[in-house]
Amino acid sequence: MPTQKKSLLTRFLLWKTKHVSHRNFVYFLSIVVGLIAGLGAVILKNSTHYIQHLIETKVVSGYHHPFYFLFPLVGLTLTYLVKKYVVRQEFGHGIPSTLRAIAKKKGIMRQYQMFSALLTAPLTVGFGGSVGLEGPTVSTAAAISSNISRLFHTNQATRTLLMGCAAAGAIACIFKAPIAAIIFAIEVFSLDLTLISLLPLLISSISGVLLSYFFYGSDTILPFQLVDVFTLEQVPFFIIFGILAALTSIYFTKVYAFFHDLFDNIKSPIKRLLIGGIGLGVIVFFIPPLYGEGFEVINNMVTGNFNDVVTDNFLHIDITNNWAILALLLGLIIFKVIASALTFGAGGIGGIFSPSLFMGSVLGFGFAKFINTLGFFKLHLSESNFTLVGMAGVLGGVLQAPLTAIFLIAELTGGYKLFIPLMITVVICFIVTKYFLPYSVYSMELARKGDLITHDKDQAVLTLMNIEALIETKFVKVSPDMNLGDIVHKAVVKSNRNIFPVINVKTKKIEGIILLDDIRPIMFDQTLYKEVVARDVMQAPPEIIDLHNDRMKDIMKKFQDSGAWNLPVIRDDKYIGFISKSKLLTAYRRQLINFTS
């Protein structure tokens, strides 16, 4: 049976090569990828909501609040068990893991990544994990797209494009926002905006949004009706709010990074589970609106039903007092990112899209209510409008994807009449956030390791290059105490290279290098064969490449600054081989051709 399947696939590939152009086949695959991405989004959303519905109506109907402490820990425990005994692989969070696969693995994602998030994300979010479903949906779609691309033997550039198409299809299906989905793939996945890439993205996005309409009809996540129109007098408030949104985005990123590093230092997954799960349980017990994705809270903010958000508070604060309401809203902003970070730290699977939207909606609503409560200004600010603009501002700052944020909120709510305030707030937020934080939550970890793909073509090509593949090991090694006679007879005669690494036999460390030019004047003087040793004629390498610390950009700079044609490579302080400038430049040229094809 396997032979027959292989034969059928081979025959199909031969037929495709003869009768279908590469471009048309990519268009066909973009339809398939878009539909599969949309289907993955539907499965994730429905399974999560089913778990939530089952818990709230069947398990603890009427006694929900006391169980807020327990539910997240149960969900995180189930997630841990599925990861350990079903998937049996450790996998990272959605979009960062996808970006890493594009940057360092040529867009190749493992088969288990096609279903791992489908099993774990609903358990995390359905039981109250304070994260979203967007990241897992995108990573699942990208993994499926990657494996489909491998099945049909597409090249790296096409595979990367189709993974971007998968992301566009997933976002389009989740939010019914096809334009924002395309921009998301371009901004976050650093795809080039060309006609060749735009059409497949457009096709996948359309496929995803049509699938959403097929399953959910015309229902939207955020039903919004514009009542208060934008006026010129509101511009100063949107400028101030843009700065406030930037501060919130910086707070989000800093707190997320702090908890990420904190949990990374805890080696035991059980300890991470208990610390994160119990911490999350305590937070959502005292602040129930932080339970789950938070779209119910966002909807209440947009429609002005803030009473439903702040009524259930453990302090029993009088919600008729505006200042008390503002204090509660501030608490939601402060603790939402902590709840999300604890969810991730405990091993939960989810995304940061929803937490960003949540914090932005609360911030926008709270800002408008604060200005209105002050009463110093004759102008009354629309709380629902600022709720929408706040979502775009914080999302654009956290993701550092301003166009995605603007178009997502505009499409999501039909609020194109708010385009100007959206642009003002998001641009200011993005500029301020970018000044203090050069990388987003998605790209922060990758940037630390030098594995981040950007729109800078030169930088992107360097990132995509494989350092390991450039290392040459066929160099004859000599020891520091080897005499000149042995160097001539055991190294020079047997090698076609003009460079010889001097390696310490015990430690395997490189102590220097010997160039053929260094010993040419004395290599035929046999009277010196036993008197001169390698240590006497070796020289220090002009530079040394460290595989753990040096990225391709660093390696290029070392060749440029040193003027050397060969540089030694070490790992854990031990000699491995050499990288030659000629081989490096050849690989760069080849990768540049593949990248721009």
Tokens 């994160």, residue? 276
In the structure encoding, which two tokens stand for residue 22, read together? 């590469």
pLDDT the model gives residue 509: 92
Contacts of 398 (CB under 8 A, 6+ apart): 249, 252, 253, 352, 356, 440, 441
Comparing C-alpha atoms, which of 343, 339, 313 is closest to residue 328?
313
State how far the Cα of 237 lies from the Cα of 186, in Å rounded to an integer: 31
**1 exposure class (CB count in 10 Å sphere: 0-12, 13-18, 19+):** exposed
Tell me if residue 266 falls in helix, strand or coil: coil
pLDDT the model gives residue 309: 66
pLDDT the model gives residue 187: 87
Spatial contact of 284 and 72, defined as CB atoms under 8 Å apart: yes
3-state secondary structure 312-380: CCCCCCCCCCHHHHHHHHHHHHHHHHHHHHHHHHCCCCCECHHHHHHHHHHHHHHHHHHHHHHCCCCCC
pLDDT the model gives residue 396: 94
pLDDT the model gives residue 61: 54
Residue 7 falls in which region: left (phi positive, over 0), alpha (psi -120 to 50) or beta: alpha
Strands 499-503, 510-515: pairing kind: antiparallel
pTM of the model as a whole: 0.80
Q: How many CB atoms lie within 10 A of CB 467?
A: 17
Tokens 């001539």, residue? 488
Comparing C-alpha atoms, which of 430, 535, 555 is closest to residue 480?
535
User: What are the CB-based long-range contacts (under 8 Å, 24+) for 147-150?
Assistant: 147/109, 147/111, 147/114, 148/29, 148/32, 148/33, 148/36, 149/29, 149/107, 150/108
Mean pLDDT by 10 residues, the chain (597 residues): 61 82 91 95 94 76 64 93 89 79 82 92 93 93 94 87 94 93 88 78 95 86 74 92 97 94 91 94 88 86 71 62 83 94 93 93 93 84 91 94 92 77 95 91 69 55 72 90 90 87 91 89 86 90 88 84 90 91 80 62
pLDDT the model gives residue 255: 95
**Interior CA angle at 98 toward 97 and 99, to 5°?**
90
Q: Supply φ then ψ for residue 219, to 5 degrees.
A: -65, 140
Spatial contact of 34 and 207, defined as CB atoms under 8 Å apart: yes
Per DSSP, the residues of 45-98 read: HHHHHHHHHHIIIIISTT--GGGTTHHHHHHHHHHHHIIIIII-S----HHHHH
In the structure encoding, which two tokens stand for residue 184, read together? 């998301």
State how far the Cα of 203 lies from the Cα of 168, in Å rounded to an integer: 9
Q: What is the DSSP letter of 28?
A: H
Q: How many CB atoms lie within 10 A of CB 497?
A: 16
Spatial contact of 113 and 92, defined as CB atoms under 8 Å apart: no
Q: How many CB atoms lie within 10 A of CB 47?
A: 18
Amino acid found at 32: V
Residue 546, beta-bridge partner list: 570
> What are the structural domains of the chain?
2-216 (1.10.3080.10), 232-453 (1.10.3080.10), 462-596 (3.10.580.10)
Torsion of CA 206, 209, 215, 220, to 10 degrees: -160
Q: What is the DSSP letter of 571?
A: E
Spatial contact of 245 and 393, defined as CB atoms under 8 Å apart: yes
Q: Convert the pLDDT of each residue in 335-346 to its tens digit.
A: 999 999 999 999
**Between the CA of residue 499 and those of 244, 475, 487, 504, 565, what are the distances in Å?**
60, 8, 12, 16, 10
Spatial contact of 487 and 516, defined as CB atoms under 8 Å apart: no
Spatial contact of 41 and 170, defined as CB atoms under 8 Å apart: yes
Amino acid found at 232: L
In the structure encoding, which two tokens stand for residue 276, read together? 């994160």
State how far the Cα of 359 lies from the Cα of 397, in Å rounded to an integer: 12
In the structure encoding, which two tokens stand for residue 193, read together? 């905006």
**483 exposure class (CB count in 10 Å sphere: 0-12, 13-18, 19+):** middle
Residue 501, beta-bridge partner list: 513
State how far the Cα of 38 lies from the Cα of 346, in Å rounded to an integer: 28
Q: How many CB atoms lie within 10 A of CB 71?
A: 25
